[in-house]
Structure 1
Protein backbone atom coordinates (compact mmCIF):
# COMPACT_ATOMS: atom_id res chain seq x y z
CA UNK A 1 0.00 0.00 0.00
CA UNK A 2 0.94 3.66 -0.40
CA UNK A 3 0.52 4.67 3.21
CA UNK A 4 -1.56 7.64 4.36
CA UNK A 5 -2.79 6.07 7.62
CA UNK A 6 -1.45 8.71 10.00
CA UNK A 7 -1.15 12.52 9.95
CA UNK A 8 2.32 12.25 8.40
CA UNK A 9 0.67 11.07 5.16
CA UNK A 10 4.16 10.20 3.96
CA UNK A 11 3.00 8.12 1.00
CA UNK A 12 5.58 5.44 1.71
CA UNK A 13 5.26 2.06 0.00
CA UNK A 14 4.56 -0.55 2.66
CA UNK A 15 3.87 -4.17 1.77
CA UNK A 16 3.94 -7.48 3.66
CA UNK A 17 7.71 -7.62 3.12
CA UNK A 18 8.69 -4.01 2.44
CA UNK A 19 9.02 -1.52 5.32
CA UNK A 20 8.75 2.22 4.84
CA UNK A 21 7.63 5.55 6.21
CA UNK A 22 8.52 7.26 9.44
CA UNK A 23 7.22 4.24 11.36
CA UNK A 24 9.70 2.05 9.48
CA UNK A 25 7.31 -0.88 9.40
CA UNK A 26 5.84 -3.20 6.75
CA UNK A 27 2.08 -3.54 6.28
CA UNK A 28 1.96 -6.87 8.15
CA UNK A 29 2.10 -6.73 11.97
CA UNK A 30 5.39 -6.67 13.83
CA UNK A 31 5.03 -7.45 17.54
CA UNK A 32 7.60 -7.31 20.36
CA UNK A 33 5.62 -8.76 23.28
CA UNK A 34 2.19 -10.06 24.22
CA UNK A 35 1.43 -10.28 27.92
CA UNK A 36 -0.91 -9.66 30.83
CA UNK A 37 0.12 -6.20 31.99
CA UNK A 38 -0.57 -4.96 35.52
CA UNK A 39 0.46 -1.32 35.09
CA UNK A 40 -2.35 0.12 33.02
CA UNK A 41 -5.14 2.22 34.58
CA UNK A 42 -7.03 0.16 37.21
CA UNK A 43 -10.23 0.08 35.15
CA UNK A 44 -8.38 -1.84 32.42
CA UNK A 45 -6.42 -4.33 34.52
CA UNK A 46 -9.13 -6.40 36.19
CA UNK A 47 -8.07 -9.44 38.21
CA UNK A 48 -5.26 -10.67 35.97
CA UNK A 49 -4.08 -7.76 33.85
CA UNK A 50 -4.69 -6.06 30.54
CA UNK A 51 -3.98 -8.26 27.53
CA UNK A 52 -1.30 -6.09 25.96
CA UNK A 53 0.03 -6.54 22.45
CA UNK A 54 3.05 -4.28 21.93
CA UNK A 55 3.41 -3.38 18.25
CA UNK A 56 6.75 -2.21 16.87
CA UNK A 57 7.27 1.14 15.17
CA UNK A 58 5.63 4.51 15.78
CA UNK A 59 4.64 7.63 13.85
CA UNK A 60 6.17 9.88 16.51
CA UNK A 61 9.81 10.34 17.44
CA UNK A 62 9.54 11.08 21.14
CA UNK A 63 13.09 11.45 22.43
CA UNK A 64 11.93 10.37 25.91
CA UNK A 65 10.10 7.18 24.87
CA UNK A 66 10.48 4.38 27.43
CA UNK A 67 9.72 1.84 24.68
CA UNK A 68 12.41 3.15 22.33
CA UNK A 69 13.69 -0.34 21.57
CA UNK A 70 10.49 -1.08 19.70
CA UNK A 71 9.17 2.38 18.78
CA UNK A 72 12.36 3.82 17.26
CA UNK A 73 14.70 0.87 16.81
CA UNK A 74 12.02 -1.39 15.34
CA UNK A 75 12.70 -4.51 17.38
CA UNK A 76 9.98 -7.13 16.98
CA UNK A 77 8.85 -10.23 15.14
CA UNK A 78 6.82 -10.12 11.91
CA UNK A 79 3.66 -12.19 12.24
CA UNK A 80 0.62 -13.00 10.13
CA UNK A 81 -2.88 -11.72 10.66
CA UNK A 82 -3.89 -15.26 11.60
CA UNK A 83 -1.22 -15.38 14.31
CA UNK A 84 -2.34 -12.00 15.64
CA UNK A 85 -5.88 -13.33 16.01
CA UNK A 86 -4.48 -16.36 17.87
CA UNK A 87 -2.60 -14.03 20.24
CA UNK A 88 -5.86 -12.23 21.01
CA UNK A 89 -7.50 -15.53 21.89
CA UNK A 90 -4.54 -16.70 23.98
CA UNK A 91 -4.59 -13.51 26.06
CA UNK A 92 -8.32 -13.86 26.67
CA UNK A 93 -7.82 -17.49 27.70
CA UNK A 94 -5.23 -16.29 30.25
CA UNK A 95 -7.82 -14.03 31.86
CA UNK A 96 -7.12 -10.69 30.16
CA UNK A 97 -9.55 -7.96 31.20
CA UNK A 98 -9.24 -6.36 27.76
CA UNK A 99 -7.30 -6.58 24.50
CA UNK A 100 -4.88 -3.66 24.83
CA UNK A 101 -3.39 -2.81 21.42
CA UNK A 102 -0.32 -0.65 22.09
CA UNK A 103 0.87 1.72 19.31
CA UNK A 104 -1.32 0.03 16.69
CA UNK A 105 -2.11 2.82 14.22
CA UNK A 106 0.29 1.94 11.40
CA UNK A 107 -1.09 -1.62 11.35
CA UNK A 108 -4.77 -0.58 11.21
CA UNK A 109 -5.80 -2.69 8.16
CA UNK A 110 -4.16 -5.84 9.53
CA UNK A 111 -5.67 -5.34 12.98
CA UNK A 112 -9.13 -4.84 11.53
CA UNK A 113 -8.71 -8.11 9.63
CA UNK A 114 -7.54 -9.89 12.79
CA UNK A 115 -10.49 -8.60 14.82
CA UNK A 116 -12.90 -9.67 12.07
CA UNK A 117 -16.64 -9.50 12.58
CA UNK A 118 -16.83 -11.51 15.79
CA UNK A 119 -17.87 -10.02 19.10
CA UNK A 120 -14.92 -10.33 21.48
CA UNK A 121 -15.73 -11.17 25.12
CA UNK A 122 -13.61 -8.29 26.48
CA UNK A 123 -13.25 -4.66 25.37
CA UNK A 124 -10.77 -3.90 22.60
CA UNK A 125 -8.54 -0.96 23.58
CA UNK A 126 -6.81 1.34 21.05
CA UNK A 127 -3.77 2.49 23.06
CA UNK A 128 -2.08 5.18 20.99
CA UNK A 129 0.11 8.27 21.07
CA UNK A 130 -2.76 10.54 20.09
CA UNK A 131 -1.20 11.57 16.76
CA UNK A 132 -3.96 9.97 14.74
CA UNK A 133 -5.80 10.53 11.48
CA UNK A 134 -9.54 11.06 11.86
CA UNK A 135 -10.08 9.28 8.54
CA UNK A 136 -8.26 6.19 9.79
CA UNK A 137 -10.10 6.25 13.11
CA UNK A 138 -13.41 6.14 11.27
CA UNK A 139 -12.41 2.74 9.88
CA UNK A 140 -12.40 1.45 13.48
CA UNK A 141 -15.96 2.44 14.36
CA UNK A 142 -17.78 -0.47 15.96
CA UNK A 143 -14.56 -2.47 16.43
CA UNK A 144 -13.00 -0.52 19.30
CA UNK A 145 -14.79 -0.15 22.64
CA UNK A 146 -12.13 1.84 24.51
CA UNK A 147 -9.80 4.51 23.20
CA UNK A 148 -6.71 5.21 25.29
CA UNK A 149 -4.96 8.15 23.59
CA UNK A 150 -2.11 10.25 24.89
CA UNK A 151 -2.55 13.99 24.90
CA UNK A 152 1.14 14.75 25.07
CA UNK A 153 1.18 18.41 24.10
CA UNK A 154 -1.03 21.45 23.80
CA UNK A 155 1.90 23.71 22.91
CA UNK A 156 3.72 23.46 19.54
CA UNK A 157 7.18 24.17 20.99
CA UNK A 158 7.65 21.01 23.06
CA UNK A 159 5.71 18.98 20.47
CA UNK A 160 8.27 19.89 17.82
CA UNK A 161 11.25 19.75 20.15
CA UNK A 162 10.55 16.38 21.74
CA UNK A 163 8.42 14.49 19.17
CA UNK A 164 9.05 16.12 15.80
CA UNK A 165 5.34 16.94 15.39
CA UNK A 166 4.62 20.66 15.65
CA UNK A 167 1.00 20.03 14.62
CA UNK A 168 0.50 17.45 17.39
CA UNK A 169 -2.26 19.27 19.29
CA UNK A 170 -4.29 20.04 16.17
CA UNK A 171 -4.21 16.38 15.17
CA UNK A 172 -4.61 14.86 18.63
CA UNK A 173 -7.50 17.06 19.71
CA UNK A 174 -9.42 16.27 16.50
CA UNK A 175 -8.66 12.57 16.95
CA UNK A 176 -9.90 12.52 20.55
CA UNK A 177 -13.14 14.21 19.52
CA UNK A 178 -13.65 11.48 16.90
CA UNK A 179 -12.92 8.79 19.47
CA UNK A 180 -15.52 10.28 21.81
CA UNK A 181 -18.03 10.51 18.97
CA UNK A 182 -17.65 6.76 18.47
CA UNK A 183 -17.83 5.65 22.11
CA UNK A 184 -19.91 8.28 23.86
CA UNK A 185 -19.58 8.77 27.65
CA UNK A 186 -17.54 6.17 29.47
CA UNK A 187 -19.26 3.13 30.97
CA UNK A 188 -17.88 1.44 34.10
CA UNK A 189 -19.24 -1.89 35.33
CA UNK A 190 -17.94 -3.21 38.65
CA UNK A 191 -14.89 -1.01 38.30
CA UNK A 192 -14.07 -2.16 34.77
CA UNK A 193 -14.23 0.11 31.76
CA UNK A 194 -16.51 -1.33 29.10
CA UNK A 195 -16.66 1.63 26.73
CA UNK A 196 -15.30 5.13 26.52
CA UNK A 197 -12.22 7.33 26.21
CA UNK A 198 -9.36 7.59 28.71
CA UNK A 199 -7.10 10.55 27.93
CA UNK A 200 -3.55 10.15 29.22
CA UNK A 201 -1.11 12.96 29.81
CA UNK A 202 2.50 12.27 30.79
CA UNK A 203 3.85 15.27 32.65
CA UNK A 204 7.35 16.19 31.48
CA UNK A 205 9.93 17.85 33.73
CA UNK A 206 10.08 21.58 33.19
CA UNK A 207 6.91 21.64 31.07
CA UNK A 208 4.23 22.51 33.63
CA UNK A 209 2.66 25.11 31.33
CA UNK A 210 2.18 22.49 28.63
CA UNK A 211 0.50 20.22 31.19
CA UNK A 212 -1.80 23.05 32.28
CA UNK A 213 -2.84 23.76 28.68
CA UNK A 214 -3.64 20.06 28.12
CA UNK A 215 -5.76 20.05 31.27
CA UNK A 216 -7.49 23.24 30.12
CA UNK A 217 -8.53 21.64 26.84
CA UNK A 218 -9.95 18.54 28.52
CA UNK A 219 -11.83 20.59 31.12
CA UNK A 220 -13.23 22.98 28.50
CA UNK A 221 -14.16 20.26 26.00
CA UNK A 222 -15.77 17.56 28.14
CA UNK A 223 -18.26 17.59 30.98
CA UNK A 224 -17.98 15.38 34.09
CA UNK A 225 -18.96 11.81 33.29
CA UNK A 226 -17.92 11.98 29.63
CA UNK A 227 -14.22 10.97 29.61
CA UNK A 228 -11.63 9.76 32.08
CA UNK A 229 -8.34 11.62 32.48
CA UNK A 230 -5.08 10.04 33.62
CA UNK A 231 -2.33 12.40 34.80
CA UNK A 232 0.90 10.42 34.81
CA UNK A 233 4.07 11.13 36.76
CA UNK A 234 6.04 8.14 35.48
CA UNK A 235 8.45 10.02 33.20
CA UNK A 236 11.81 8.24 33.36
CA UNK A 237 14.99 9.81 31.89
CA UNK A 238 16.35 7.84 28.97
CA UNK A 239 20.05 7.35 28.09
CA UNK A 240 21.49 10.51 26.58
CA UNK A 241 18.71 12.78 27.91
CA UNK A 242 19.76 16.41 28.31
CA UNK A 243 18.43 19.50 30.06
CA UNK A 244 15.18 19.09 32.00
CA UNK A 245 14.59 15.67 30.43
CA UNK A 246 17.64 14.34 32.27
CA UNK A 247 15.70 14.36 35.54
CA UNK A 248 12.42 13.07 36.93
CA UNK A 249 9.36 15.22 37.49
CA UNK A 250 9.70 16.76 40.94
CA UNK A 251 7.15 16.31 43.68
CA UNK A 252 6.37 20.03 43.54
CA UNK A 253 5.77 19.91 39.78
CA UNK A 254 3.39 16.98 40.04
CA UNK A 255 1.52 18.38 43.04
CA UNK A 256 1.04 21.62 41.10
CA UNK A 257 -0.37 19.69 38.13
CA UNK A 258 -2.73 17.65 40.31
CA UNK A 259 -3.97 20.80 42.07
CA UNK A 260 -4.55 22.50 38.71
CA UNK A 261 -6.48 19.49 37.44
CA UNK A 262 -8.69 19.51 40.53
CA UNK A 263 -9.22 23.27 40.34
CA UNK A 264 -10.36 22.84 36.72
CA UNK A 265 -13.04 20.44 37.91
CA UNK A 266 -11.58 17.21 36.53
CA UNK A 267 -12.49 14.51 39.04
CA UNK A 268 -13.07 11.51 36.73
CA UNK A 269 -9.72 9.84 36.37
CA UNK A 270 -6.42 8.86 37.85
CA UNK A 271 -3.24 10.24 39.33
CA UNK A 272 -0.07 8.30 40.09
CA UNK A 273 2.27 7.81 42.98
CA UNK A 274 5.64 9.24 42.02
CA UNK A 275 7.13 5.79 42.65
CA UNK A 276 5.69 4.95 39.21
CA UNK A 277 8.74 6.60 37.65
CA UNK A 278 10.80 3.43 37.62
CA UNK A 279 12.44 1.59 34.77
CA UNK A 280 11.05 -1.76 35.94
CA UNK A 281 7.55 -0.75 34.89
CA UNK A 282 8.68 -0.95 31.26
CA UNK A 283 8.20 -4.56 30.04
CA UNK A 284 11.05 -6.65 28.69
CA UNK A 285 10.57 -6.78 24.94
CA UNK A 286 11.77 -10.34 24.42
CA UNK A 287 9.11 -11.69 22.02
CA UNK A 288 7.37 -13.74 24.71
CA UNK A 289 3.78 -14.42 23.79
CA UNK A 290 4.44 -13.67 20.12
Structure 2
Protein backbone atom coordinates (compact mmCIF):
# COMPACT_ATOMS: atom_id res chain seq x y z
CA UNK A 1 0.00 0.00 0.00
CA UNK A 2 2.99 2.32 0.17
CA UNK A 3 2.38 3.29 -3.45
CA UNK A 4 -0.43 5.46 -2.06
CA UNK A 5 2.35 7.82 -0.98
CA UNK A 6 3.53 8.31 -4.57
CA UNK A 7 0.62 10.70 -5.09
CA UNK A 8 -0.77 11.28 -1.60
CA UNK A 9 -4.50 11.88 -1.37
CA UNK A 10 -5.04 10.20 2.00
CA UNK A 11 -6.86 13.20 3.48
CA UNK A 12 -9.41 15.59 1.96
CA UNK A 13 -6.69 18.11 1.08
CA UNK A 14 -5.50 15.80 -1.71
CA UNK A 15 -2.06 17.41 -1.94
CA UNK A 16 -0.88 14.80 -4.45
CA UNK A 17 2.77 15.06 -3.40
CA UNK A 18 5.20 12.14 -3.78
CA UNK A 19 6.06 11.36 -0.17
CA UNK A 20 8.10 8.33 -1.24
CA UNK A 21 10.41 10.74 -3.08
CA UNK A 22 10.82 13.00 -0.04
CA UNK A 23 8.08 15.56 -0.66
CA UNK A 24 5.83 16.66 2.18
CA UNK A 25 2.29 17.95 1.82
CA UNK A 26 0.19 20.12 4.12
CA UNK A 27 0.39 17.64 7.02
CA UNK A 28 4.20 17.66 7.04
CA UNK A 29 4.55 13.87 7.13
CA UNK A 30 7.09 12.06 4.99
CA UNK A 31 7.58 8.46 3.92
CA UNK A 32 8.44 7.15 7.39
CA UNK A 33 6.08 7.07 10.37
CA UNK A 34 6.98 9.43 13.19
CA UNK A 35 5.68 8.52 16.67
CA UNK A 36 5.64 11.09 19.47
CA UNK A 37 4.77 8.77 22.34
CA UNK A 38 3.21 5.46 23.29
CA UNK A 39 1.53 5.02 26.66
CA UNK A 40 -1.24 3.40 28.64
CA UNK A 41 -3.76 6.24 28.50
CA UNK A 42 -6.18 6.32 31.44
CA UNK A 43 -8.01 9.51 30.40
CA UNK A 44 -9.89 8.13 27.40
CA UNK A 45 -13.60 7.22 27.63
CA UNK A 46 -14.41 4.44 30.15
CA UNK A 47 -15.42 1.96 27.45
CA UNK A 48 -11.94 2.14 25.91
CA UNK A 49 -9.59 1.92 28.88
CA UNK A 50 -10.46 -1.28 30.75
CA UNK A 51 -8.38 -1.83 33.89
CA UNK A 52 -5.03 -0.42 32.80
CA UNK A 53 -5.82 2.08 30.05
CA UNK A 54 -5.96 2.36 26.29
CA UNK A 55 -2.74 1.59 24.44
CA UNK A 56 -2.27 5.03 22.92
CA UNK A 57 0.10 5.64 20.01
CA UNK A 58 0.45 9.37 19.34
CA UNK A 59 1.51 10.02 15.75
CA UNK A 60 3.35 13.19 14.79
CA UNK A 61 2.03 15.69 12.20
CA UNK A 62 -1.62 16.37 11.36
CA UNK A 63 -3.90 17.18 8.45
CA UNK A 64 -5.44 20.09 10.39
CA UNK A 65 -4.05 23.29 11.93
CA UNK A 66 -6.32 23.81 14.92
CA UNK A 67 -5.44 27.09 16.61
CA UNK A 68 -6.30 25.64 20.04
CA UNK A 69 -4.46 22.32 19.62
CA UNK A 70 -3.27 20.96 22.95
CA UNK A 71 -0.72 18.70 21.21
CA UNK A 72 0.71 21.32 18.84
CA UNK A 73 4.30 20.25 19.57
CA UNK A 74 3.65 17.01 17.76
CA UNK A 75 0.80 17.89 15.40
CA UNK A 76 2.27 21.13 14.01
CA UNK A 77 5.95 20.79 14.80
CA UNK A 78 6.29 17.07 14.12
CA UNK A 79 8.12 16.12 17.30
CA UNK A 80 8.72 12.37 17.52
CA UNK A 81 10.82 9.35 16.59
CA UNK A 82 10.82 7.65 13.20
CA UNK A 83 9.80 3.99 13.12
CA UNK A 84 9.53 1.41 10.37
CA UNK A 85 6.58 -0.96 10.20
CA UNK A 86 8.33 -3.72 12.13
CA UNK A 87 9.18 -1.36 14.98
CA UNK A 88 5.65 -0.02 14.99
CA UNK A 89 4.18 -3.54 15.14
CA UNK A 90 6.48 -4.32 18.07
CA UNK A 91 5.24 -1.22 19.88
CA UNK A 92 1.62 -2.28 19.34
CA UNK A 93 2.36 -5.67 20.86
CA UNK A 94 4.21 -4.19 23.83
CA UNK A 95 1.17 -2.09 24.69
CA UNK A 96 -1.05 -5.16 24.61
CA UNK A 97 1.37 -7.05 26.86
CA UNK A 98 1.32 -4.10 29.28
CA UNK A 99 -2.44 -4.57 29.69
CA UNK A 100 -3.94 -2.18 27.14
CA UNK A 101 -7.66 -2.76 26.63
CA UNK A 102 -7.59 -1.26 23.14
CA UNK A 103 -4.97 -0.09 20.64
CA UNK A 104 -5.66 3.64 20.41
CA UNK A 105 -4.15 5.07 17.19
CA UNK A 106 -4.14 8.84 17.73
CA UNK A 107 -4.15 11.10 14.62
CA UNK A 108 -3.24 8.26 12.25
CA UNK A 109 -4.75 9.30 8.89
CA UNK A 110 -1.60 10.51 7.12
CA UNK A 111 0.17 7.23 7.95
CA UNK A 112 -2.64 4.91 6.84
CA UNK A 113 -0.62 2.54 4.57
CA UNK A 114 2.23 2.15 7.05
CA UNK A 115 -0.15 1.54 9.95
CA UNK A 116 -2.11 -1.07 8.00
CA UNK A 117 1.13 -2.91 7.20
CA UNK A 118 2.18 -2.75 10.87
CA UNK A 119 -1.22 -4.01 12.02
CA UNK A 120 -0.97 -6.97 9.65
CA UNK A 121 2.44 -7.83 11.09
CA UNK A 122 1.26 -7.40 14.69
CA UNK A 123 -1.83 -9.55 14.17
CA UNK A 124 0.27 -12.39 12.75
CA UNK A 125 2.26 -12.16 16.00
CA UNK A 126 -0.78 -12.33 18.27
CA UNK A 127 -2.31 -8.85 18.54
CA UNK A 128 -6.00 -9.28 19.30
CA UNK A 129 -7.28 -6.23 21.22
CA UNK A 130 -9.77 -3.91 19.44
CA UNK A 131 -8.20 -1.35 17.11
CA UNK A 132 -9.33 2.25 17.62
CA UNK A 133 -8.96 4.80 14.80
CA UNK A 134 -8.73 8.00 16.87
CA UNK A 135 -9.13 10.65 14.19
CA UNK A 136 -9.81 14.35 13.81
CA UNK A 137 -12.74 13.34 11.62
CA UNK A 138 -11.10 15.01 8.61
CA UNK A 139 -11.09 11.90 6.44
CA UNK A 140 -12.03 10.82 2.95
CA UNK A 141 -14.60 8.10 2.35
CA UNK A 142 -11.95 6.29 0.29
CA UNK A 143 -9.58 6.15 3.23
CA UNK A 144 -12.27 4.81 5.55
CA UNK A 145 -12.94 2.07 3.00
CA UNK A 146 -9.25 1.11 3.11
CA UNK A 147 -9.59 0.46 6.84
CA UNK A 148 -12.39 -2.11 6.51
CA UNK A 149 -11.49 -5.27 8.40
CA UNK A 150 -8.56 -3.63 10.19
CA UNK A 151 -10.37 -1.15 12.46
CA UNK A 152 -12.95 -2.15 15.07
CA UNK A 153 -13.80 1.20 16.61
CA UNK A 154 -13.90 4.62 15.02
CA UNK A 155 -13.28 7.53 17.37
CA UNK A 156 -13.81 10.69 15.30
CA UNK A 157 -13.39 14.04 17.03
CA UNK A 158 -16.27 15.77 15.27
CA UNK A 159 -15.27 19.38 15.67
CA UNK A 160 -17.70 21.62 13.80
CA UNK A 161 -21.09 21.77 12.15
CA UNK A 162 -20.30 24.79 9.95
CA UNK A 163 -17.66 25.37 7.29
CA UNK A 164 -16.93 28.80 8.74
CA UNK A 165 -15.69 27.28 12.01
CA UNK A 166 -13.52 24.80 10.10
CA UNK A 167 -12.00 27.64 8.10
CA UNK A 168 -11.39 29.93 11.06
CA UNK A 169 -10.08 27.44 13.60
CA UNK A 170 -8.57 24.51 11.68
CA UNK A 171 -7.61 25.88 8.25
CA UNK A 172 -10.10 23.45 6.70
CA UNK A 173 -13.02 25.24 4.99
CA UNK A 174 -14.45 21.89 3.86
CA UNK A 175 -14.21 20.25 7.29
CA UNK A 176 -17.91 19.82 8.08
CA UNK A 177 -18.81 18.25 4.73
CA UNK A 178 -15.78 15.97 4.67
CA UNK A 179 -16.17 14.84 8.29
CA UNK A 180 -19.88 14.13 7.91
CA UNK A 181 -19.35 12.01 4.78
CA UNK A 182 -16.58 10.09 6.53
CA UNK A 183 -18.73 9.58 9.63
CA UNK A 184 -21.49 8.03 7.55
CA UNK A 185 -18.94 5.68 5.97
CA UNK A 186 -17.62 4.70 9.41
CA UNK A 187 -21.07 3.91 10.76
CA UNK A 188 -21.99 1.90 7.69
CA UNK A 189 -18.78 -0.10 7.91
CA UNK A 190 -18.76 -1.12 11.59
CA UNK A 191 -22.47 -0.90 12.44
CA UNK A 192 -24.11 -0.08 15.76
CA UNK A 193 -22.08 0.11 18.96
CA UNK A 194 -21.50 -3.27 20.57
CA UNK A 195 -20.30 -3.64 24.16
CA UNK A 196 -18.88 -6.58 26.09
CA UNK A 197 -20.31 -7.82 29.36
CA UNK A 198 -17.77 -5.65 31.20
CA UNK A 199 -18.92 -2.50 29.39
CA UNK A 200 -15.95 -2.33 27.04
CA UNK A 201 -16.71 -1.13 23.53
CA UNK A 202 -15.91 -3.92 21.09
CA UNK A 203 -17.08 -2.40 17.82
CA UNK A 204 -18.81 0.71 16.54
CA UNK A 205 -18.46 4.48 16.37
CA UNK A 206 -17.79 6.72 19.37
CA UNK A 207 -18.17 10.37 18.34
CA UNK A 208 -16.35 12.95 20.41
CA UNK A 209 -17.40 16.58 20.37
CA UNK A 210 -15.51 19.27 22.23
CA UNK A 211 -17.89 22.10 23.12
CA UNK A 212 -16.17 25.40 22.28
CA UNK A 213 -16.77 28.72 24.06
CA UNK A 214 -19.19 30.93 22.17
CA UNK A 215 -20.36 28.03 19.99
CA UNK A 216 -23.05 26.28 22.02
CA UNK A 217 -25.68 26.75 19.31
CA UNK A 218 -23.41 25.07 16.79
CA UNK A 219 -22.84 22.21 19.22
CA UNK A 220 -26.57 21.80 19.83
CA UNK A 221 -27.20 21.71 16.07
CA UNK A 222 -24.51 19.05 15.72
CA UNK A 223 -26.01 16.92 18.49
CA UNK A 224 -29.43 17.10 16.86
CA UNK A 225 -27.96 16.18 13.50
CA UNK A 226 -26.23 13.14 15.01
CA UNK A 227 -29.47 12.02 16.65
CA UNK A 228 -31.47 12.41 13.47
CA UNK A 229 -28.94 10.40 11.47
CA UNK A 230 -27.85 7.70 13.91
CA UNK A 231 -30.02 7.69 17.03
CA UNK A 232 -28.40 5.48 19.65
CA UNK A 233 -26.45 3.43 17.09
CA UNK A 234 -23.42 5.51 18.02
CA UNK A 235 -21.87 6.48 21.37
CA UNK A 236 -21.46 10.21 21.95
CA UNK A 237 -18.88 11.84 24.18
CA UNK A 238 -19.54 15.50 24.98
CA UNK A 239 -16.26 16.99 26.15
CA UNK A 240 -16.00 19.90 28.54
CA UNK A 241 -12.21 20.06 28.72
CA UNK A 242 -11.57 22.99 26.37
CA UNK A 243 -8.51 24.93 27.53
CA UNK A 244 -7.34 28.05 25.63
CA UNK A 245 -3.90 26.79 24.61
CA UNK A 246 -1.52 27.46 21.70
CA UNK A 247 -2.89 30.40 19.63
CA UNK A 248 -6.41 30.48 21.10
CA UNK A 249 -5.83 33.92 22.65
CA UNK A 250 -5.80 35.37 19.12
CA UNK A 251 -9.28 34.07 18.26
CA UNK A 252 -12.06 35.32 20.56
CA UNK A 253 -14.29 33.80 21.89
CA UNK A 254 -11.87 30.85 21.97
CA UNK A 255 -9.56 32.90 24.18
CA UNK A 256 -11.58 32.00 27.28
CA UNK A 257 -12.74 28.92 29.15
CA UNK A 258 -16.08 27.28 28.48
CA UNK A 259 -18.81 28.32 30.90
CA UNK A 260 -20.95 25.85 32.84
CA UNK A 261 -24.07 27.22 31.15
CA UNK A 262 -22.63 26.66 27.68
CA UNK A 263 -21.69 23.08 28.36
CA UNK A 264 -24.81 22.13 30.30
CA UNK A 265 -27.07 23.54 27.57
CA UNK A 266 -25.51 21.11 25.08
CA UNK A 267 -25.88 18.22 27.51
CA UNK A 268 -29.51 19.19 28.09
CA UNK A 269 -30.15 19.16 24.36
CA UNK A 270 -28.82 15.59 24.11
CA UNK A 271 -30.98 14.49 27.04
CA UNK A 272 -34.08 16.19 25.66
CA UNK A 273 -33.63 14.25 22.42
CA UNK A 274 -33.62 11.00 24.39
CA UNK A 275 -29.97 10.04 23.80
CA UNK A 276 -28.91 7.14 26.01
CA UNK A 277 -25.31 6.51 24.88
CA UNK A 278 -23.75 9.81 26.01
CA UNK A 279 -20.64 10.51 28.08
CA UNK A 280 -20.42 13.85 29.89
CA UNK A 281 -17.56 15.44 31.81
CA UNK A 282 -17.36 17.33 35.07
CA UNK A 283 -15.54 20.63 35.57
CA UNK A 284 -12.59 18.75 37.05
CA UNK A 285 -11.68 17.54 33.53
CA UNK A 286 -10.51 21.02 32.53
CA UNK A 287 -6.85 22.00 32.60
CA UNK A 288 -3.47 21.66 30.95
CA UNK A 289 -2.55 18.92 33.44
CA UNK A 290 -4.53 16.48 31.27
CA UNK A 291 -2.32 17.09 28.24
CA UNK A 292 0.20 14.23 27.76
CA UNK A 293 3.87 15.20 28.08
CA UNK A 294 5.64 14.93 24.71
CA UNK A 295 9.01 16.20 25.87
Distance 2:57 2:176 in 1: 26
1:28 is aligned to 32
Check if 1:8 corresponds to 2:13.
Answer: yes
1:249 is aligned to 258
1:267, distance to aligned residue in structure 2 (A) = 1.9
1:114, distance to aligned residue in structure 2 (A) = 0.3
Check if 1:222 corresponds to 2:222.
Answer: no
1:260 is aligned to 269
- What is the aligned counterpart of 1:199 among 183, 186, 207? 207
SS of the residue aligned with 1:54? strand
- What is the aligned counterpart of 1:101 among 102, 105, 127? 105
2:150 is aligned to 143
1:33, distance to aligned residue in structure 2 (A) = 0.2
Distance 1:183 1:228 in 2: 13
Distance 1:209 1:188 in 2: 31
- What is the aligned counterpart of 1:55 among 34, 39, 59? 59
2:162 is aligned to 155
Distance 1:75 1:63 in 2: 17
- What is the aligned counterpart of 2:68 among 51, 64, 70? 64
Q: Which runs of 5+ in 2 are unaligned?
A: 1-5
- What is the aligned counterpart of 2:176 among 169, 181, 200? 169
Q: Which runs of 5+ in 1 are unaligned?
A: none
Deviations 1:175-209 (A, max 9, x none): 11111111111111111011010001001100112
Q: Does the 8 A contact of 1:155 with 1:213 survive in 2?
A: no
* Greater relative CO, 1 or 2 (CA 8 Å, sep 6+): 1
1:269, distance to aligned residue in structure 2 (A) = 2.0
SS of the residue aligned with 2:19? coil
SS of the residue aligned with 1:244? coil
Check if 1:82 corresponds to 2:86.
Answer: yes
1:270 is aligned to 279
Number of aligned positions between the proteins: 284
Q: Does the 8 A contact of 1:51 with 1:97 survive in 2?
A: yes
Using a 3 Å threshold, how does the CA distance of structure 1 residues 19 and 46 change in structure 2: closer, same or farther?
Answer: farther
Using a 3 Å threshold, how does the CA distance of structure 1 residues 86 and 247 change in structure 2: closer, same or farther?
Answer: same
TM-score between both structures, scaled by the size of structure 1: 0.95
TM-score between both structures, scaled by the size of structure 2: 0.94
Q: Which deviates the most, 255-264 or 28-37?
A: 255-264
- What is the aligned counterpart of 1:210 among 210, 214, 218? 218
Superposition RMSD on alpha carbons, in Å? 1.2
1:285, distance to aligned residue in structure 2 (A) = 1.0
Distance 1:230 1:3 in 2: 32
1:27, distance to aligned residue in structure 2 (A) = 2.3
SS of the residue aligned with 1:60? coil
Q: Does the 8 A contact of 2:67 with 2:246 survive in 1?
A: no
Using a 3 Å threshold, how does the CA distance of structure 1 residues 101 and 19 change in structure 2: closer, same or farther?
Answer: farther
Using a 3 Å threshold, how does the CA distance of structure 1 residues 233 and 128 change in structure 2: closer, same or farther?
Answer: same
1:223, distance to aligned residue in structure 2 (A) = 2.3
1:19, distance to aligned residue in structure 2 (A) = 4.8
Distance 1:200 1:18 in 2: 34
